[in-house]
């Protein structure tokens, strides 16, 4: 099946709150890159941040309901407290499963069971993505706020020094003027 | 195996599974029931989009399982 024939649905996992560094923008960036390759993909947006970033240009692509040959979920996977990776994971559709290599290893699979399993896997994968995204967002927010506080602290220190220096310079100048004025009398 | 009864009525597997879970939670002893009932709640707001604009009637503004 050529790439043109495939219908694709993209799921973006973000949340509503900001102040978390590049969490939301990295998911949106990956999705925008994919939309350049495949312009007619449809979108499902989880979270206000994804909606805000994508609705202007790609608003028409937000989901209507139909069958898709390929479903991809973009989320942030937790790597460590200071690092996260934006990953995409394909979610299983019925076509994918029946076409899989090891499909024949399983017996007593009929359409019913496959459909039920497909739905279950979809829910589970989305839940997994949400958990990972939540974790990455929490740690990213922690590091972002931490560096923001540190930067603010440094700025306060530098500005305090400048302030004191200026204040002392002004006082010194006034003293000099007074003294030279007094000396001139 | 022919079509499941719940499938014929129009439920998805997820809805069927949630209904079963609700039934189990309902049958717990009172002390354990309180905690279990909290696990069944979910707050989700979904909005259907039409032509690039969100349509006001949301798909499912559900508080509670299902």
pLDDT > 80? residue B64 = no
Answer positive or negative: Cα dihedral of A63, A65, A69, A75: positive
CATH number of the B5-63 domain:
1.10.1620
Cβ separation A115–B13 shorter than 8 A: yes
Rounded Cα distance between A35 and A43, Å, is 10
pLDDT of amino acid A43: 86
For residue A104, the tally of other CB atoms under 10 A from its CB is 8
- pLDDT tens digit sequence for B5-63: 888 888 888 889 989 999 999 999 999 998 888 888 877 777 777 766 677 665 554 44
Inter-chain residue contact B3 with A112, CB threshold 8 Å: yes
What are the tens digits of pLDDT across the range A49-80? 888 888 878 877 776 555 677 788 888 899 88
CA pair distance A9, A183, nearest whole angstrom:
86
The whole-number pLDDT of residue B63 equals 47
CA distance B9 to chain A (A): 14
pLDDT at B65: 44
Residues of A in contact with B48 (CB under 8 A): 63
- In angstroms, the CA A23 to CA A47 distance is 12
Residue A69 CB-density burial (10 A; 0-12 exposed, 13-18 middle, 19+ buried): middle
Average model confidence (pLDDT) for chain A?
Answer: 86
Out of A60, A112, A115, whose CB is closest to B52?
A60
Q: Where are the domains of chain B?
A: 5-63
Query: Which sign does the torsion angle of CA A30, A35, A38, A40 carry?
Result: positive
In this prediction, the residues of chain A whose per-residue pLDDT falls under 70 are: 1-4, 63-67, 95, 99-101, 108
pLDDT at A64: 56
Tally C-beta pairs within 8 A across A and B. 32
């Amino acid at each position: 099946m050529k790439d043109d024939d495939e219908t694709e649905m993209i799921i973006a996992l973000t949340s509503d709150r900001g102040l978390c560094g590049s969490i939301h923008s990295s998911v949106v960036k990956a999705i925008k890159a994919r939309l350049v390759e495949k312009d007619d993909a449809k979108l499902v947006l989880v979270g206000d941040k994804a909606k805000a970033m994508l609705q202007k240009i790609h608003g028409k692509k937000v989901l209507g309901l139909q069958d898709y040959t390929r479903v991809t979920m973009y989320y942030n996977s937790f790597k460590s407290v200071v690092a996260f990776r934006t990953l995409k994971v394909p979610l299983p559709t019925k076509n994918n499963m029946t076409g899989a290599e090891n499909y024949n290893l399983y017996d007593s699979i009929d359409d019913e069971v496959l459909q039920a399993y497909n739905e279950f896997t979809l829910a589970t994968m989305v839940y997994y993505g949400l958990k990972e995204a939540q974790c990455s967002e929490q740690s990213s927010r922690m590091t972002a706020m931490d560096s923001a506080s540190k930067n603010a602290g440094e700025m306060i220190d530098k500005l305090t020094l400048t302030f004191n220096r200026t204040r002392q310079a002004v006082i010194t100048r006034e003293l000099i003027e007074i003294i030279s004025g007094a000396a001139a009398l | 195996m022919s079509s499941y009864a719940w499938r014929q009525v129009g439920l998805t597997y997820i809805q069927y599974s949630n209904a079963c879970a609700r039934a189990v939670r309902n049958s717990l002893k009172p002390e354990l029931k309180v905690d279990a009932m909290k696990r069944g709640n979910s707050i989700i707001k979904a909005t259907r989009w039409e032509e690039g604009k969100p349509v006001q009637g949301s798909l499912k503004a559900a508080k509670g399982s299902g």
